[in-house]
Amino acid sequence: MLKGKTALVTGSTSGIGLGIAKALAEQGANIVLNGFGDVDGPRAAIAALGVKVAYHGADMSKPAEIADMMKYAAAEFGQVDILVNNAGIQHVARIEDFPVEKWDAIIAINLSSAFHATRLALPAMQAADNGKGWGRIINLASVHGLVGSAEKSAYVAAKHGLVGLTKVTALENATSGVTCNAICPGWVLTPLVQKQVDARAAENGIGNEAAKQQLLGEKEPSMQFTTPEELGALAVFFCSPAGANIRGVAWNMDGGWTAQ
C-alpha cells in the first residue's frame, strides 16, 4: 500500500518507534530511522522486510540537527511522505523538586522536536500529487496528552501540547491531502516504562510481574499493556485510503484508561 513512499520515524531504534517503522515497512514504505543505542539490529530488521532503510542520529533536542536529518532524508529518498514524531524522554518528580534542565529537555524532545520536523516536512507534502498534497503526520502523544498524572508535569505538559499542535497542523492543511493525527497510548512496555516498573519493584520489595500488575491496576482497566505492533497497525490505518479524512484526532489506545 505504501510502496514508493518514505517514512521518517523519530526515536525508532527501539520500542514504539521501531514497532511503527516495521509496520510501515511491511506496507512497502522506505524508512529513515533515528535514535540512540543499537542501530545495526533495527536497520537489519527493517531491511529484511524488503525496503530501503537509512539512519540519521539527530539529537532531537537540537533544531539544527533536526534540519540536517530532514535534508538527509530528502537527499536519500526524494522527500518525506510520512512523518512519525515519536521521540520522547521522561522524568518523574514533584513540581517543586523538578530539575529545570529536565523540564527543558523534555519540552525540547517531546514537543518542540515535533514542531521542527513538521515545519520542515510540510512544504514537500503540500506540493505532492501535483499540488493537491499528500502526506501523513502522526504524533505519538500519550494518554497523558488527555489526562494528567502526579509527578509528570513536563511530560504531561509536552503531550498536551503535542495534541494541540496536531489539531492546528490538521486545520491548516484541512483542504489538502495532508493529514495530521495523534496516537495516545496507555502503558506500553517500552524501556522507558520498564524503568518505572523496576523502580516500583525495588521500592515496594516485590517481583517484576507483581510490579507490572500493580502499575496496570492503578490506571488501565484492561490489565494489558498496549503493544508496539498494535500502535503500528493504527499508524498504517492513518496512512491508508480509509484515513484520508481523519484529521486532528487524538486517538487513545489505552485499555479504557480515559473511559473511567
How far from 139 is each of 72, 114, 231, CA to CA, in Å? 21, 7, 12
If one counts every other C-beta atom within 10 angstroms of the C-beta of residue 210, the result is 14
How far from 123 is each of 30, 69, 92, 215, 239, CA to CA, in Å? 20, 16, 37, 42, 18
Q: In a 3-state reduction of DSSP, which class is residue 8?
A: strand
Please tell me the number of Cα atoms within 13 Å of 119 on its side-chain side.
9
Integer Cα distance of 84 and 137 in angstroms: 6
The number of residues making up the chain comes to: 260
Separation of first and last alpha carbons in the chain: 37
Q: In a 3-state reduction of DSSP, which class is residue 53?
A: strand
Please tell me the number of Cα atoms within 13 Å of 237 on its side-chain side.
12
Please tell me the number of Cα atoms within 13 Å of 3 on its side-chain side.
3
Longest dimension (CA), the chain: 61
- Show which residues are catalytic: 155
